Amino acid sequence: MKNIRVLLVAFQLFLVTVLSAQVTDPVILSVGGENVSRSEFMRVFKKNNTKDSGYDKQAVEDYLELYINYKMKVHEALELGMDTVQSFKDELAGYRKQLAQPYLVDKQVSESLVREAYDRMKTDVRASHILIKCDANALPKDTVDALNKANKVRAELMKGADFATAARKYSDDPSAKDNGGDLGYFTSMQMVYPFETAAYATKQGEISQPVRTRYGYHLIKVTDIRKNQGEIRVAHIMVKTGTGISSEDSMKAAQKIDEIYAKLKAGDKFEDLARQYSDDQSSAKNGGLLPWFGTGRMVPEFEVAAYALKYPGDYTAPVKTAYGWHIIKLMETKPLGTFESMQADLKQRVQKDSRSDLSRTSMISKIKAKYNFKEVPAAKTAFMKVVDSTLTQGAWSVDRAQGLTATMFFLGGNSYSQQDFATYVSEHQTRRGPSMPAESMINTLYTEWISESCLAMEETKLDSLYPDFRNLMQEYRDGILLFELTDKKVWSKAVKDTTGLKDFYEKNKSNYMWQDRLDATIYTCASADIAKETHKLMKKIDDVDTLMARINQTSQLNLQVRSAKFVRGDNEIIDQIEWKPGMTRDIVKDKQVVFVVAHNMLPSQPKSLDEAKGLITADYQSALEKAWITELKAKYPIVINTQVVDSVSQIK
């Protein structure tokens, strides 16, 4: 009887716990028999609706409809067994590896690296270097030879040799022949980490000790240190030259930029000149405006000229770069952002940078301690006996380790054997030739194997250790399934189903209409005299290119010609003329003379399937998805708890 009473009490406690959970986290809906809790819905909803106070009821209901469609599609994918396909498993595993990376580093070290990067960004460094090449996997002898050479060059410099002259003579950096080793100004995150660290540790005017990077040994001379210049925004007018340009075209480009500069000096608006003449089409339409940039982001000639401008509105004389001629106008400046404003971006950049190896190495040390890592040195020694030169040729075979079964190390209660290592070596050996001895290579592989095993051990625990990671993996799984199935049912189907697309177009062609259009050519002349000369030559020359060549002999700005099929609103001149075939009168606009030759009036008509294929395909995809959703709703019953839905809009 006593045991029965104990069981009854336990059962009552169980019921109370269950009912309490149901009250605190009720079911908001059911899709195809699968219950969705309010907390699960809220987690996804909040990602797409950020508010400090309550949520709009309509917004909740609109998102609920999207969420239901999403859950139905995932249900369908699982019913079709798409989660069992190997390609899906491989893709999900790839995403898991990426998502796991932030969890497999020492956060404290990572945070210190982010702070270090920001603190260094407060200063710009200008430095020159001499590179003595040395492969990262070079033989010890070659490494010593490279270091000795670097020390010998440094000794010459310390005795007073000119750095630029020495760079041209000794440096293996090809650019040194032209720039004497000068790298210009740079800041944190723009050079490989060891180089950056050495540059920031070297005083102005001094020369560093040889610094090892993956490229070899560097001697670094810091020539200037300045406060961070912040970011600037400029506009530019560009006349392209490019590589391989003829001397004649190069002269024409120089002439054109000089003529544009003369107009600017005479009072013409910079933005108007950029729109009319700049060869950088992406910025020309915005008056030449470029995105914000900071130190080291532009070619040196452009950057130096831009930063030399003191006040917004100031502009440069023509500046030559490898891309062409530029006239640069300063628009805005802003100082380096606060650490808080830059922290998220710097964190991502540090994770992708080689300096992140420091936090990875620290994490591996912690994992070893956490899971009681213990090596068996004798097993490694025994393994070394089966390693030979075939390893450096990428031809080493697992068979060579036949009979070796001893444990090489223990981790988290698991043992890792010589056979495990043999398999790893076989799969990761790389054909490197004689540049790396077999002994060095096997030691490198052994270290990598231990590191990867440690991280893999921790990675298996992430789902239980971090709910955010578990939820994110679920979202990625569902996302991949959703993409694959939607592509099959909607996106690719709309592209491949040419018959269905054509039928859809025929039924809906009235939705894809051209407005009234004018097929015309606009002639923009620099002056009334040029317009008069153009009219005269047009009676003899009907080829536009020939006409422009004749008119622009004295200036590349004399005549600009544009032909197109225009609709109302495309062009100010086209909008004000009468739409009928023939040549218009001369129109004075912005100190220029413009006239139009109207070739043909094209009345409103349906666009052909080819002319509007992108839009028609998108609409066909929408129709396919709508029909698919209807099918899914008939297949998977949906039950919505309206009271719980209403409660969501009141949650803060």
Q: Say how far apart CA 290 and CA 189 lie, in whole Å.
A: 22
Instruction: Determine the average pLDDT of the residues in 398-404.
Output: 93
What is the H or E stretch that residue 548 is in?
Answer: helix 544-551
Task: Report d(CA 1, CA 24) in Å as an integer.
Answer: 35
Beta strand 182-186 with 414-417: parallel, antiparallel or unpaired? Answer: unpaired
Q: Which of 413, 608, 418 is nearest to 513 (CA)?
A: 608
**Top-confidence residue, 93 or 652:** 93
Asked whether the predicted pLDDT for residue 577 surpasses 70, the reply is yes
Contacts of 122 (CB under 8 A, 6+ apart): 227, 228, 336
Structure token digits, residue 174 = 């090809």
pLDDT at 432: 58
Residue 600 has pLDDT above 50, yes or no: yes
Do residues 219 and 127 touch, judged by C-beta distance below 8 A?
no
Quick: pLDDT tens for 283-306. 998 999 999 999 988 988 899 899
> What's the 3-state SS for 114-129?
HHHHHHHHCEEEEEEE
- For 238-260, what is the mean pLDDT? 90
Pairing of strands 638-640, 231-240: unpaired
* pLDDT-based confidence at residue 591 (cuts at 50, 70, 90): confident
CA distances from 160 to 154, 170, 620 (A): 10, 16, 75
Strand spans (E) along 281-384: 319-321, 324-334, 374-375
Buried b vs exposed e over 374-399: b needs ≥16 C-beta within 10 Å? ebbeebbeebeebbeeebbeeebeee
| DSSP per residue, 262-277 | HHHHTT--HHHHHHHH
Pick the CATH number of 231-334 from 3.30.1330.10, 3.30.1490.190, 3.40.640.10, 3.10.50.40: 3.10.50.40
Written as one letter, the residue type at 212 is R
Look at strands 592-602 and 605-606 and give their pairing: unpaired
Tokens of 8: 């009854």
Tens digits of per-residue pLDDT, 211-243? 999 999 999 999 999 999 999 999 999 999 977
Does residue 170 carry a pLDDT above 70?
yes
User: Nearest 5 degrees, angle CA 477-CA 479-CA 482?
Assistant: 110
For 202, phi and psi rounded to 5 degrees? -95, 135
More confident call, 242 vs 379 = 379
Query: Which pLDDT score is estimated for 54?
Result: 56
Residue 51: pLDDT band by 50, 70, 90 thresholds? low
Per-residue pLDDT tens for 120-165? 999 999 999 999 999 887 778 889 999 999 999 999 999 999 999 9
Q: Which runs of consecutive H residues, i.e. helices, occur in 159-268?
A: 163-170, 176-179, 193-201, 247-265
**Mean pLDDT score, 559-571:** 93
Identify the burial level of 128 via C-beta atoms within 10 angstroms of its C-beta, where 0-12 means exposed, 13-18 middle and 19 or more buried: buried
Provide the mean pLDDT of the chain. Answer: 91
Residue 517 CB coordination number (10 Å):
20
Q: Smallest Cα–Cα separation from 323: which of 340, 345, 300?
A: 300
- With a cut of 80, say whether residue 55 has pLDDT above it: no
- Residue 347 CB partners (closer than 8 Å, separation 6+): 110, 114
Output the CA–CA distances (angstroms, integers) from residue 375 to 37, 93, 224, 446, 450, in the order listed: 47, 29, 50, 11, 10
Burial of 505 (0-12, 13-18, 19+ CB in 10 A): buried
Give yes or no for residue 84 having a pLDDT over 80. Answer: yes
**Higher-confidence position of 4 and 617:** 617
Res 651: pLDDT? 65
- Pick 115 or 649 by higher pLDDT: 115
Residues 518-539: pLDDT tens digits? 999 999 999 999 999 999 999 9
Residue 502 confidence (pLDDT)? 95
pLDDT at 12 over 70: no
Handedness of CA 154, 158, 164, 169 (dihedral sign): negative
Q: Judging by beta carbons within 10 Å of its beta carbon (0-12, 13-18, 19+), is residue 578 exposed, middle or buried?
A: exposed
How many C-beta atoms surround the C-beta of residue 591 within 10 A?
12
Pick the CATH number of 513-606 from 3.10.50, 3.40.50, 1.10.3470, 3.30.70: 3.10.50
- Angle, helices 356-370 vs 339-352, to 10°: value is 70
Helix, coil or strand: residue 173: coil
Confidence at residue 256, expressed as pLDDT on a 0 to 100 scale: 94
* CA–CA separation, 326 and 283 (whole Å): 13
Strand spans (E) along 384-438:
407-411, 414-417
Nearest 5°: CA angle at 597, between 591 and 600? 145
pLDDT exceeding 70 applies to what percent of the chain? 95
3-state secondary structure (DSSP) of residue 524: strand
Structure tokens at 339: 């650490």
Instruction: State the Cα–Cα distance between residues 434 and 394, nearest whole angstrom.
Output: 11
Residue 116, pLDDT > 60, answer yes
Q: Who contacts 13 (Cβ-Cβ below 8 Å, separation ≥6)? A: none
Q: Which helix (H) or strand (E) holds 525?
A: strand 517-525
Task: List, by residue range, all CATH 3.10.50.40 domains of the chain.
Answer: 123-227, 231-334
- Take residue 81 and report the two structure tokens written for it: 């067994």
Rounded to whole angstroms, how far apart are CA atoms 77 and 477?
Answer: 11
Strand, helix or coil for residue 386? coil
Taking alpha carbons only, the member of 598, 152, 165, 109 closest to residue 359 is 109
Pick the CATH number of 123-227 from 3.30.420.40, 3.40.50.2300, 3.30.360.10, 3.10.50.40: 3.10.50.40
Region label for 138, one of left (φ > 0), alpha (ψ between -120 and 50) or beta (otherwise): beta
Quick check: 152 and 323 in contact, CB under 8 A?
no
Residues 6+ apart with CB under 8 A from 70: 478, 482
pLDDT attached to residue 104: 93
Over 50: is that where the pLDDT of 16 sits? no
| First CA to last CA distance, the chain | 50
426-472 pLDDT, tens digit each: 999 875 555 677 888 899 899 999 999 999 999 999 999 999 999 99
* Residue 21 binned pLDDT confidence (cut-offs 50, 70, 90): very low
Distance, CA of 197 to CA of 46 (rounded, Å): 41
Give me the amino acid identity at 260: I
